[in-house]
Homo-oligomer: A and B are copies of this chain.
Amino acid sequence: MKYSFRCKCPITSALDIVGDKWSLVVIKQMLFEGRSTFKDFIDSPEAIATNILSTRLKMLENFGIIEKAKLPTNKKTNIYTLTEKGFSLTPVLIELTLWSKYHIQEFNPGLNLDKDLEKVEKNKEEAFELIIENYKKHKQSILKK
């Protein structure tokens, strides 16, 4: 399959993959909100359109950012989970959170900021590892059912 990039810049290339309106939101919903099924995503506060979600999940799977599985006990529901490539976006998402904390409150008052954000700020790398570790456990637990 042919991938189309604007140039050889790493930042622009990253954005050519996850820089659309919904990709990072879906990844955030998986990583921080534990969402893993089509219905989970549809029911999120952001309310993504079903045709957009479908297209986006296919694209993220195609890039190896997420993977799709089914439980032996359930032939219907797809379980979408992040791969390493996917949860390696944790630092990007955390830095966006911190940026919003300091710079977006004035435009969107009452942001839902995690109460542990100060701990995160004090030791970002440790926080990244903890979040990823938690996600891996979560992933194991939902695929074990």
Q: How many residues of A contact B (CB 8 A)?
A: 49
**Complex CA distance for A17 and B13, rounded to whole angstroms:** 19
Interface residue? A53 (CB, 8 A): no
Q: Is residue A131 within 8 Å, beta carbon to beta carbon, of the partner chain?
A: no
When the two chains form the complex, which single residue of B25, B63, B95 contacts A95, counting CB atoms closer than 8 Å?
Answer: B95
A15 to B21, Cβ gap below 8 A? yes
Among candidates B6, B15, B92, B96, residue contacting A45 with C-beta atoms closer than 8 Å: B6
A residues 14-33 in Cβ contact with B at 8 Å: 14-17, 19-21, 24-25, 28, 32
A25 and B15 contact, Cβ closer than 8 Å, known pairs A3-B107, A10-B101, A96-B92: yes
Q: Is A88 on the interface with B (CB-CB < 8 A)?
A: yes
Does A104 touch B at the CB level, under 8 Å? yes
Whether A11 and B97, one on each chain, are in contact in the complex, defined by CB atoms closer than 8 angstroms, is yes
CB distance from A13 to the nearest CB of B (A): 5
30 residue pairs bridging A and B, Cβ less than 8 Å apart: A3-B107, A5-B107, A5-B108, A6-B47, A7-B45, A9-B28, A9-B45, A9-B46, A9-B112, A10-B104, A10-B113, A11-B32, A11-B93, A11-B97, A12-B46, A13-B108, A13-B111, A14-B99, A14-B100, A15-B21, A15-B24, A15-B25, A17-B107, A19-B19, A19-B21, A89-B99, A91-B95, A92-B99, A95-B95, A124-B125
